[in-house]
Amino acid sequence: MTVSLTNSKAVYQGIRDAGVRSISALPETWLVYLLQMADDDPHMQLVEVAKEEEAIGIAAGSYFAGDKHILLMQNHGFLAAINGIVSLAQLYRIPLCMLVAHRGHWGEPYPWHTRGGIVTEEVLRALGIPFEYARDPHKVGKQIKEALTFAHSSLGPVALLLSRDLMED
């Protein structure tokens, strides 16, 4: 498996074009280039967290400060952050725009990712969180902007699932 630098650049440019100036993330293989780009960008604040649930609080604080914020996480991280999503973001109607590396789906070679991949869509649906798949580097920028807009207009979490087609060469 090789992470696509070219497509990661398209994702990062989409984040920048959407007016985002802060990102919270826990390091993950598919996110490696995105985190490097954010760390190298003097106009972006990258907050690396130890647990994804911390990122929910950071995103809430960014929202209340008037900043556009994106959460980067793997789907297992999304599953680990459900308490914060439900008891903070959904309860208090706080927009969350989550870009979720959708591991454990078709073509996944690593068994430790498969359970999370299998249940991600079901959990998103059960929580009433709207989601889309990002598969095309030529469309991902528009999808990020639309996801961020929808999170703010619906005052709740939304997820853009970063697919294997997008994130791997």
- Domain positions in the chain: 5-167
The amino acid sitting at 9 is: K
Question: Is 158 or 113 the better-scoring residue by pLDDT?
Answer: 158
Predicted TM-score (pTM) of the model is: 0.95
Tokens of 40: 């190298």
CATH pick for 5-167 out of 3.40.50.300, 3.30.360.10, 3.40.50.970, 3.30.70.580: 3.40.50.970
pLDDT of residue 116: 86
104-139: buried (b, 16+ CB within 10 Å) or exposed (e) per residue? bbeebeeeebeebbeebbebbeeeebebebbbebee
Residue 78 near residue 119, CB atoms below 8 Å? no
Task: Please report how many Cα atoms fall inside a 13 Å half-sphere around the Cα of residue 58, on the Cβ side.
Answer: 24
- Residue 137 pLDDT level (bands cut at 50, 70, 90): very high
Which pLDDT tens digit goes with each residue over 33-58?
999 999 999 999 999 999 999 999 99
